[in-house]
Amino acid sequence: MSRKTIVLSGINFSEGGPLTIYKECLRCVEEYLLKDYEIIALVHNKELFSEFDSRIRFIEFKDSKKSYLKRIYYEYIYFKKLSKKFKPYLWFSLHDMTPNVTADKRVVYCHNPMMFYNMTKEERKKSFKLFLFSKFYKYIYKINIKKNNYVIVQQDWIREEFKKAFKIKNVIVAHPEVNLGNLKINKNIEIEKNSFLYPSFPRVFKNFEVICEATKILENKGIKNLKVYLTIDGSENIYSKEIVEKYSQLECIEFIGLQSRENLMKYYNKVETVVFPSKIETWGLPITEAKELRKKIILANLPYAHETLGDYENVFFFDPNSSRDLAEKMELVIKGENIKFDGNIEKNIEEPYCNNWKELFEIILKK
């Protein structure tokens, strides 16, 4: 009896988080599905996947990132022909777009939450391209979305938004498997008292302004016994350049620039508190890392932050639009006497819901 075919598609993944997600998916497939299914993986570059079992058939699309038109051609025209050729049991699109394909089961994994973020006028000016992108994404998601057996998102709040926006019910919440194996806890490093770290790449929704303004408020009150480390230095983009120019006079902020993983771990180990004021995320990896390292944490009071954090005691939440609120929370940490944290309780998420790729494939492939 011939084995059924599963097609995995991620032709635009070539670096960073998305590539990591694809590889985690393939590791699960390699371990649990290869004996029962033929696996075809559509990729941008086969060389990026050299560590995988030779029984997985990789087909590369090296020109997929040349233009968005090329991507659209593949998703909505070429993949139709390919699906007729392979006759897959499951076509699993790992990157947001629901292609025109023929398959017994169709699934799409939706990563990007930007369509649910209302950018301010100031943010639009700073990053008009991101504003257009956020509006465009709604239509990209909408094409063919109701033809899927399942739509996968990373958090419950995104599921609720998808249900409202697209009038669908078949949405799985799949919390990402976060590999914390490279988190090297060094107990020999002395904690720097009243130190704060915000590790993030500078994009307008990352909200670096709020922590800079909060620090300014503290300095104006004469509170200067603190150090705030920000992983920007002004060289990354226009947004970071504006931030550094505007706040470089503050004594208590150190703009350390983007860090290697090894260097970032040194900062993680030595700081007392991790701050994460981002206005929108699908997950927010530094939250998970700070929790693992048992740091004091100050988070934007938004659904993604509560869901990512889960059960944790030493956390404050603040209004991400209020630098004064953040300054108050930072001051409580600096004073350090009988701190009464807000704490957080893990959210109870309704089915369908899973915590790893194995559980996700069990839901998807269930007959």
* Amino acid in position 68: Y
* Tokens representing residue 91 in the block: 């076509």
Mark residue 239 as left, alpha or beta (left: phi above 0; alpha: psi -120 to 50; beta: remaining).
alpha
* Amino acid in position 137: Y
Return the pLDDT at 353. 97
Q: Quick one: pLDDT band at residue 189, thresholds 50, 70, 90?
A: confident
What's the fold here for domain 192-335? Rossmann fold (3.40.50)
Average pLDDT, the chain: 93
Which has the closest alpha carbon to 300: 283, 314, 318, 282? 318
Question: For 306-355, how does the pLDDT look when each residue is reduced to its tens digit (9 = 90+)?
Answer: 999 999 999 999 999 999 999 999 999 999 888 999 999 999 999 999 99
HEC sequence for 93-123: ECCCCCCCCCCCEEEEECCCCHHHCCCCHHH
Question: Any bridge partners for residue 151, and if so which?
Answer: 108, 171
Domain pair 4-174+351-365 / 192-335, same fold: yes
Write down the domain spans for the chain: 4-174+351-365, 192-335
For helices 128-142 and 156-166, give the axis angle rounded to 10 degrees.
70
Residues 137-141, mean pLDDT to the nearest whole number? 89
Residues 51-56, mean pLDDT to the nearest whole number? 91
**CA distances (Å), 298 to each of 130, 199, 252, 325, in order?**
27, 13, 18, 11
Tell how strand 57-60 and strand 227-230 pair up.
unpaired
For helices 208-220 and 323-335, give the axis angle rounded to 10 degrees.
60
Q: Which percentage of the chain shows pLDDT scores above 70?
A: 99
Omega prior to 88 cis, within 30 of 0: no
Residues 170-184, mean pLDDT to the nearest whole number? 83
Question: Any bridge partners for residue 271, and if so which?
Answer: 192
Identify whether the C-beta of residue 218 lies closer than 8 Å to the C-beta of residue 327.
Answer: yes
Residue 273 has pLDDT above 90, yes or no: yes
Which has the closest alpha carbon to 278: 252, 254, 304, 246? 304
Return the pLDDT at 137. 85
Residue 278 has pLDDT above 70, yes or no: yes
- In sequence order, which ranges of the chain are alpha helices (DSSP H)? 16-32, 68-73, 79-86, 121-126, 128-142, 156-166, 208-220, 238-247, 261-270, 285-292, 303-309, 323-335, 357-365
Buried/exposed 77-93: b ≥16 CB within 10 Å, e otherwise: eebeebbeebebbbbbb
Residue 1 has pLDDT above 60, yes or no: no
What's the fold here for domain 4-174+351-365? Rossmann fold (3.40.50)
State the Cα angle at 72 between 66 and 76, rounded to 5°: 145
Please tell me the distance from the alpha carbon of residue 315 to that of residue 313, in angstroms, as a whole number: 6
Return the pLDDT at 312. 98
* Tokens representing residue 181 in the block: 């194996």
Return the pLDDT at 182. 67
Please tell me the distance from the alpha carbon of residue 334 to that of residue 214, in angstroms, as a whole number: 13
**CA distances (Å), 323 to each of 140, 208, 326, in order?**
35, 10, 5
Number of CB atoms found within 10 A of residue 272's CB: 18
Question: For 199-248, how does the pLDDT look when each residue is reduced to its tens digit (9 = 90+)?
Answer: 999 999 999 999 999 999 999 999 999 999 999 999 999 999 999 999 99
- SS3 of 60, please? strand
